[in-house]
Chains A and B, each alone.
Chain A
Amino acid sequence: MSDLRPSPESRDVVLEASGIDKSFVLGSQKIDVLKQASMKVYRGEILAIVGSSGSGKSTLLHILGLLDPPDAGSVSRLGKDLAALPRRERALARNAYIGFVFQFYHLIPELTAVQNVLINPMIRQSFVTYLKTRRRQKARALELLDYLKIGNRLQHRPPQLSGGERQRVAIARALIGEPEILLCDEPTGNLDRRTANEILDLIWRLNAERQQTVVIVTHDDHVAERAHRVVELFDGQFRRVETAPA
C-alpha cells in the first residue's frame, strides 16, 4: 500500500501515478519491482525519488514518462490515464508533455549540439511545419543553449564535448519542447562533483525562473537534500515522504 498521502493543499497535480505494478521475468524468476506504488507530482516542484540500486527508481521514471507501460495502475494527467493509451498516442503525449534527461546524456553522435536540440521540434512537427518555422526553432535552440551556458559549443558534436557540456545539451533538447515535467534519471551520476553541482544549479535555476516541474531519480544525498520533496522507493513502494516548503 502506498503511503503517499494526498496533499492537504490544493496545488495543481501535474502527473499522478496510482496503483502501479511492474514485474520482470529474469530466467525462471519473476521479480516484482513495483507493487501498487502511487505518487503525485505537483506543478512547480522539484521531487527527488531516492532508493537503493535496483529498487525500481528508473523503472518508475520510465513508467511516468510513458516509455514503459505498467502491468497495472494508471499514469494520469488531468484525470486522463495516459499509460492506457495505444503506443502511438503515448509517443505523442510523451513528446508533448515530457522531457527526459538521462545519466549517459544520450545525444545522437552524428549531430551537432544545435541539431541534437532541434531534433525534438523536428519530431513534433510535420515536415512542412518544421520548414516554415525552422528559423524560429533555431533561434529558440540558440537561446536555450545560451541560457544553459553552452552557447560557445554549438557546432560541436557530442564526442567533442565534455560530460557536463553534453548534459547541458541534453537538458536543452528536453526543454525546447516546453515539457510540463522534466524527468531526470541520475542526471549527475556520471559527472564529477563540481560539474554535477553546476548541472544541479542549472536545474534549480530552471525551476526558480521558469517554474519548471522536475522529477529527479537519484541516489545522491546532495540532490535529495536540495529537493522540495523526497520520496523513497523501498520494496516496490514509497516508504517515506518528506515535504519541504515549495
Chain B
Amino acid sequence: MYRIFLSIKYLSSRIIPFLAMFAVALGVMSMIVVISVMNGFIVQTRVIARGTLADLTVTPLVTNASQHYLDLIRTAPKVKAVSPHLVRQALVSTGFSGHAATTHKQLRELSFVTVLGIDPALERLASDFERYLANFEEVRDEIGDPRPWQVDDVKEPFSLETEDRRRAAYPKVVVGLELAKRLGIRKGTFVDLMTYAINDEPGVPLEDKFSVLHEKFVCAGVFRSGSFEIDLGFLYMPLEQLRSFSNAPKDDISEFAVTLEDYLFSDQAKEELQELFMTSQGATAIVETWEDKESIFLSAVDNEKRIMAVILFFFLLFACFAIFIILNMMVREKTRDIGILNSLGATFGGILQIFVMNALIISIVGATIGLVGGVLICENVNAIEQFLKNAFGLVIFKPDVYAFDRLPVDMRTDEVVTIIVLTIGLSAISGLFPAFRAARLDPVEALRYE
C-alpha cells in the first residue's frame, strides 16, 4: 500500500515529473500521428504505384499461344482468376475527326492514356474493375447524380442502350472519371482515339513500318478507382476491339493479370508459376508480383517510414532519459525518507517498487495522454490541416504534389500497441537503475544524510 501511496505523493508534490509526463505524451503522440500518416501515405502510394496491376503479372514470351498460357496458369495452385490484357498507348480527345462539336479547346485537350483491352467476363473475376464502375458514392457532392456517368450494366460495361443509331453503331469504351471530367466526356459522348502500329515484317520499307491509326468510339460509362492517376490515365475497351483497332496480330496478348487466393503467399505463388513455365513446352514467361514491378518506389516509401520511426524513437528515448534523471534526482532528494522507511521495516523490494512505480506512473499517464492526443489528431487530421490553412495560411499538405486530395491516415492497432508497450517498457527500465540504487542504500547512512 505504502508503495503506491508514496509514489503518488512524491510525484504530485513536484512539477518536474509532470514535465517528463508531458515529454512522454508528446513522444507517443507524435509517433502515433507520424506513423499513421506515413501508413496512409504508403497505402495511397501503393494504390497509385499498383495502378491496375494485378497480384501477379505474367508476360508471355511466346506469341500466338494465349489459350495455352491461360490453361497453364489456371492449373497453378493458389490462383483464383486470370484475365488476359492487351495493352496499348493512345492519345484521346473528343474531337479529332472534325465533326460539329469540335472546338479549339477540345483540340488542345489531348490526353495520353493507357488502353487496356479486356474480356469483361474474365476481368470482373480478376480485378476490382466491376467495383470501379459503380464507385461514385464518395464523390456524390461533386458530380451530383451519377446516372449520366454510370454504365447501364456493370456486368456488360461495353453496352449502351440508346435511341441514337449512330451512337449504337460505334464501338464502346469506358474511361476514368478524372479523364471524363477533363475532356467533358459523359455517357454517350463520342471519343476519338489515336494509336500506332509497327509492322516489322521483313521487306517492308521504312516509311511503311510505322503507321498511325485512329478511330471513333462512344463512351459507355465512367469508372472511378479513387486514385487520381488511374482515373486520369486508363481507358478500357473489349480485347478484340483493341486488337482490331491497333492492328495487333491475332492471339496477341500483352500480359495475363493473375489474382491469387491470398496475396500473403504471392512469392510462393510466383515461384510455383515460374516452375510451371520452366517445365512446360513452348510457354516461357516472366512472372512478377506487382511489387516487383514497383519495387524501388515502394521500398523508398517504406524506408521513409522507417527513418521517421527511428527519429521519433530517439525522442522517446529522450523522454525515458528524462525519467531516469528525474528519478535519480528524486532518490537523492529522498535519501532520508528511504532511511526512515527502512527503519519502519520497508523491504528492499518495497523501496525498489516505490521508484519503479514512479517511472511507471509517469510513463503510463504520459502514454495515455499521448495515445488519446494521437488518436484525436489522427481522426481529425484533415480538419486540423484545414484549420491551420485557414487561420494561419499554413500549408502543410499540398494535394497537387501527391496524387490524393486528403491527408491519408491509417492507424494500425498493432503499431499503436507496440509504441505504448515500448514506451512503458523503456520507462520501467530507465526507472529500474535509480530504484535499485535507492533500495540498496545503507539505512544508517541514509538516515544520517543531510
Contacts and interface: CB of A to CB of B under 8 A. Distances in A.
Contact of A67 (B342, B347, B348): B342
A87 B344 contact: no
Interface stretch (A91-99, A148-156, A226-234): A91-99
Interface of chain B, main secondary structure: helix
A192 interface: no
B9 A111 contact: yes
A120 B1 contact: no
Interface in B242-289: none
A65 B340 CA distance: 12
A92 B345 contact: yes
Interface residues of A, number: 33
A106 B336 contact: yes
Contact of B344 (A68, A93, A119, A127): A119
A110 B333 CA distance: 12
Contact of A126 (B1, B340, B348, B447): B1
A123 B341 contact: yes
Contacts of A111: 9
Nearest to A157: B13
A157 B336 CA distance: 17
A122 B5 CA distance: 9
A52 interface: no
A52 to B, nearest CB: 19
Nearest to A107: B340
A106 B443 contact: no
Nearest to A126: B1
A89 to B, nearest CB: 9
Contacts of B343: 65, 67, 94, 100, 102, 106
Interface in B1-52: 1-2, 4-6, 9-10, 13
B443 A67 contact: yes
Contact of B2 (A88, A100, A119): A119
A126 to B, nearest CB: 7
Contacts of A125: 1
Contacts of B350: 123
A88 B348 contact: yes
Contacts, number: 77
A88 B1 contact: no
Interface string B337-357: 101111111111110000000
A111 B350 CA distance: 18
A127 B1 contact: yes
Nearest to B4: A127
Interface string A100-123: 101000111011000100011011
Contact of A123 (B10, B336, B339, B344): B344
A94 B342 CA distance: 9
A91 B341 CA distance: 10
B11 to A, nearest CB: 10
Interface in A114-142: 115, 119-120, 122-127, 130-131
A219 B442 CA distance: 26
A62 interface: yes
B444 interface: yes
A86 to B, nearest CB: 10
Contacts of B6: 108, 110, 119
Nearest to A68: B444
A115 B12 CA distance: 15
A35 interface: no
B1 A91 contact: no
B2 A123 contact: yes
Interface centre among B1, B2, B13, B341 (most CB of A within 10 A): B1
Given A67-B342, A87-B348, A106 B1 contact: no
Nearest to B448: A58
B347 A91 contact: yes
A108 B1 contact: no
Given A100-B344, A106-B336, A119-B344, 8 more contacts: A88-B348, A95-B346, A108-B340, A115-B5, A115-B9, A119-B6, A123-B344, A123-B346
Interface of B: 1-2, 4-6, 9-10, 13, 336-337, 339-350, 442-444, 447
For the complex of A and B, list the 5 residue pairs with the smallest distance between their C-beta atoms, beginning with the closest.
Answer: A95-B345, A122-B2, A130-B1, A122-B1, A94-B345
23 contacts: A65-B343, A68-B443, A87-B347, A87-B348, A91-B347, A91-B348, A92-B347, A93-B345, A94-B345, A95-B345, A100-B343, A100-B344, A102-B447, A106-B447, A108-B9, A108-B340, A110-B6, A110-B9, A110-B10, A115-B9, A120-B344, A123-B346, A177-B344
